[in-house]
Amino acid sequence: MTEGTRIPLPSVDRPPQAYGKVAVLFGGQSAEREVSLAGGQAVLDALRTAGVDAHAVDPDGDVVTQLKRDGFQRAFIMLHGRGGEDGTLQGALEIAGMPYTGSGVLASALAMDKQRTKLVWRALGIPTPEFRVLWDSSDVQAAAAELSFPLMVKPANEGSSIGMSKVADAQALPAAWEQARHYGETVLAETWIEGPEYTASILNDSPLPLIRLETPRIFYDYEAKYADGAGTRYICPSELDPQQETEFQELALKAFRAVGARGWGRVDFLCDAEQRPWFIEVNTVPGMTSHSLVPLSAGVAGLDFGQLVIHILEGSLQ
């Protein structure tokens, strides 16, 4: 392992009983429910194998009352998208005084909002592709005139590449906008970056080895992420020069901290032909399925899935 991929993570020697009764929150009602169900079950199984008193909770409308009633002492959040990753659940748990994994209210809400994440990054000099917000048809026309094609069009508040499409010309832009706004009124048109895609997993304030993503599809979409046989390749270690890997890891950690994220998460970026990174988004509750990136990166760093899950749970004690 190169110096750029080394992580100084201490071992976790705490007995499993110290975590108390743990609710693994997964499922929910967002567009990412199926991904959440798969990853949440994997986390639940790993915690139980480690001896943690963990239980599945598919939250209803009053999840805090449910958790208090059943005597839970902390929550492992594996809910993606709205209602679980956007600060709403985090705020309810804060009011209830219940510890939970991952980022807090502000960071969760900010990272879920791709538009405002990009505004924060711009203010701090973190490179992110040029974009326009598409509220109505006049914004669509303005974006077509002001941005260079091709463009990526996507909902500002969804994950797992849901509602995203690559647009080659102005004629195709209105249809892409209509598709994206099925998932929320705020839609972004973003300059397409031609080049390899990378992801930087963050665990307890340390960047894990970078992963380079290769897909035969137009881009790393929902099918490329989750479908068996999609042909996606995950290259980790990333085969970058060690110094460049370290530089990208440090910049990814800066982008992660910029939104106030903590505990664990993932930062996605693209590199252009000049090897300049362009940051796309922060995921504060990444996937934990068999196709997921954080477990892969952690494995290259020397942590198996069970150890990774315990490190994430450990963050709820900080």
Domains of the chain: 3-101 (3.40.50.20), 111-126+194-317 (3.30.470.20), 131-191 (3.30.1490.20)
d(CA 182, CA 167): 17
Please give the pLDDT value at position 4: 44
- Backbone angles phi and psi of 279, in degrees to 5: -85, 140
Please give the pLDDT value at position 290: 72
What does 211-231 look like in DSSP terms, one character per residue? EEEE-SSSSS-HHHHH-TTS-
- Backbone angles phi and psi of 137, in degrees to 5: -65, -30
For the chain, the residue count is 318
Please give the pLDDT value at position 1: 38
Would you please indicate which residues are annotated as catalytic (active-site) residues?
Answer: 32, 160, 226, 266, 268, 281, 283, 287
- As averages over each run of 10 residues, the pLDDT of the chain (318 residues) reads 49 89 92 89 97 94 90 96 90 95 97 95 97 89 88 78 81 88 86 93 94 72 51 88 96 97 97 95 91 93 95 91
What are the residues facing 132 on neighbouring strands?
189
Q: Dihedral, CA atoms, 86, 88, 91, 97, nearest 10 degrees? A: -110
CB-CB contact of 198 with 268 (8 Å): yes
Please give the pLDDT value at position 224: 45
